[in-house]
């Protein structure tokens, strides 16, 4: 019913930028918070950025604060993750996620997941 599809990953040199996109289908996109997670090899999946249902409140992990920006375009059913000043430590599979419950803040339970997109940052 709910489908999330990420795109925009790839190989980039340290200091470079990438913009990830996640397009949702199957329900009213504008009613739901959205999040970006990442998982590096051998490590747990962690939340790196999130945006509440209204698009007003955002959250960032300390490791990416000041470098990453999450935004949403409800007309396009899409959430973005702009990643600047990339570091090798940012290398991971990045996942888009959405909750089951509508009209929540960013700190919600995420239930739906995209397939992931690989981001590799070389030194």
Question: Alpha-carbon distance 19 to 38, whole Å?
Answer: 14
Predicted pLDDT at 27: 84
User: What backbone torsions phi and psi does residue 75 show, to the nearest 5 degrees?
Assistant: -65, -25
64-103 residue pLDDT tens? 999 999 999 999 999 999 999 999 999 999 999 999 999 9
Q: Which residues contact 45 (CB under 8 A, 6 or more apart)?
A: 37, 38, 39, 95
């Amino acid at each position: 019913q709910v489908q999330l599809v990420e795109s925009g990953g790839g190989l980039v040199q340290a200091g470079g930028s990438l913009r990830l996109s996640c397009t949702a289908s199957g329900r009213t996109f504008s009613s739901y918070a959205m999040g970006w997670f990442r998982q590096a090899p051998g490590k747990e999946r962690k939340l790196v950025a999130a945006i509440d249902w209204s698009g007003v409140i955002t959250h960032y992990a300390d490791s990416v604060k000041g470098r990453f920006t999450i935004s949403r375009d409800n007309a396009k059913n899409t959430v973005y993750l702009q990643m600047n000043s990339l570091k090798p430590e940012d290398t991971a599979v990045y996942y888009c996620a959405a909750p089951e419950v509508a009209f929540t803040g960013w700190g919600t339970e995420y239930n739906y997941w995209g397939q992931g997109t690989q981001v590799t940052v070389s030194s």
